[in-house]
Amino acid sequence: MSNENNETEKKVLTTTELLNNYTGSIQAGLDNGTKYVKAFESLNQTTELPDLLTAAVQLTNYQLNTDFVEFPHQFSDEDVQLVFFERLLKLSNNANGFGISNAEHVQKLLCKFGSLGDNTFTFTKSTKNPAGFFFGPTAHNRPLFYLNLKNKELMFHGSSLIDYFVVDLEGLEVSAIKQALQVMIQAAEVLKENFGFKIDFNVLDGVNGEFYEFAAGKIPEPILDELFVKSADNQYILMSGENGGAALTLDNDTKLTVFNAGNEDRPKWGADIHDNDQKESWLNLLLDYPFIKDWYLDNKKQLEILSNKIIFG
């Protein structure tokens, strides 16, 4: 009984109180808008990388509308990622022709690489994680990498990169493809060096000894037979390696080794690459040596390089 009375008492507002609440709510909505604008200005104009990251994280999943104030024109979270990505590359002098390509209106922003012609790319929000975004070509559903600014993660997706750059873009100059790949690699490097991002370079990793794990687990011998025959047709000799593995010495002393990193009972087949400059990656080999590409595509089901299953699965 007494509770009821209290509530009734609470609901009775004077006109002044009512109007105070009203203006207060609008002011809060406007303040929220101001905060948003400040963050957006920083995203757009700051020349400091840390401020850029802070702004992007702040703007991602920003609740701009309130009950009292709504903003009809808004950039999406995907757009925020793309603006961040473009500015990150420009501020670190790594853009190399990369840029947002349709900045005329407030809309879904797209971007282009300097070397890849009219192909456009964009970010798409992950359905599993609101702070996670996939970057990929607009014409194909291929997540080339996953970016999560809040958790400081960037992960490349091996088989999508191969499907797109090796298969979809077949016929394009290899140097043009490599230039675009380099832009993405540089972006990841900048994030790693400046903010300690966790990066999975996957098939782009040029560090010697990086293990590219095959999907099949166990690689049947005829698949290596095929590599042996194709190599010999191209004047390279596949050598017999340890534990049933094999090794191929390519140009400039680049050495590709295919081996079982597990054991007989729990096989874990994959490849690694050694080169003097620690630059050659799995993807580079597929681009530089058509016979390795053919071999990979002929046996894609087994040879597909595994990526993070939780993020991309």
Contact positions with other proteins (CB under 8 A) in 211-240 = 221-222, 224-229, 232, 237-240
| Interior angle at CA 49, CA 44 and CA 52, nearest 5 | 35
Q: Could you tell me the smallest distance in angstroms from the CB atom of residue 282 to other proteins?
A: 20
Count of residues engaged in binding other proteins, rule: CB under 8 A: 14
Question: How would DSSP label each residue in 42-103?
Answer: HHHH---HHHHHHHHHHHTT-----SS---S----HHHHHHHHHHHHHHHTT--TT-EES-T
Q: Residue 200 Cβ, how far from other proteins at the closest point, in Å?
A: 31
C-beta closer to other proteins: residue 48 or 225: 225
Nearer Cβ to other proteins (41/225): 225
Nearer to other proteins, 224 or 271 (CB): 224
Q: Is 161 in the site for other proteins (CB under 8 A)?
A: no
Instruction: Give helix 77-91 / helix 174-195 axis angle, nearest 10°.
Output: 90
Minimum distance of other proteins from residue 298's CB (angstroms) = 10
Instruction: Report the alpha-carbon distance of residue 213 to residue 182 in Å, rounded.
Output: 22
Q: In whole angstroms, what is the distance from residue 201 CA to residue 186 CA?
A: 11
| Pick 106 or 237: Cβ nearer other proteins | 237
Taking only Cα atoms into account, the Rg of the chain, rounded to an integer number of angstroms, comes to: 26
Q: Report angle CA 168, 107, 136 to the nearest 5 degrees.
A: 25
**Do the beta carbons of residue 179 and residue 134 sit within 8 Å?**
no
Q: Which amino acid is at 259?
A: F
CB under 8 Å to 125, separation ≥6 — which residues? Answer: 77, 78, 132, 133, 134
Report, in Å, the least distance between residue 300 CB and other proteins.
16
Q: Say if residues 55 and 35 touch (Cβ distance below 8 Å).
A: no
Q: Which is nearer to other proteins, 223 or 283 (CB)?
A: 223
Distance CA(110)–CA(246), nearest Å, equals: 43
| Angle of CA points 128, 130, 131, to nearest 5° | 115
| CB of 151 or CB of 240, closer to other proteins | 240
- Among residues 228 and 289, whose Cβ is nearest to other proteins? 228
| Minimum distance, C-beta of residue 274 to other proteins, in the bound complex (Å) | 18
Q: Residue 242 CB, nearest distance to other proteins (Å)? A: 11
> What is the identity of the amino acid at 56?
A
Which two tokens mark 12?
Answer: 């009775």
Q: Which of residues 93-112 bind other proteins (CB under 8 A)?
A: none
Among 80, 83, 183, 246, binds other proteins (CB under 8 A): 246
In whole angstroms, how close is the CB of 303 to other proteins at the nearest point? 16
Q: Which residue, 174 or 232, is less far from other proteins as judged by CB? A: 232
**DSSP per position, 208-270:** TT--EEBTTSS--HHHHHHHHHHHHHTT--EEE-GGG-EEEE-GGG-EEEEEESS-SSS--EE
Contact string 111-150 vs other proteins (x = CB under 8 A): ----------------------------------------
The least distance separating other proteins from the CB of residue 238, rounded to whole angstroms, comes to: 4
Binding site for other proteins (CB under 8 A): 221-222, 224-229, 232, 237-240, 246
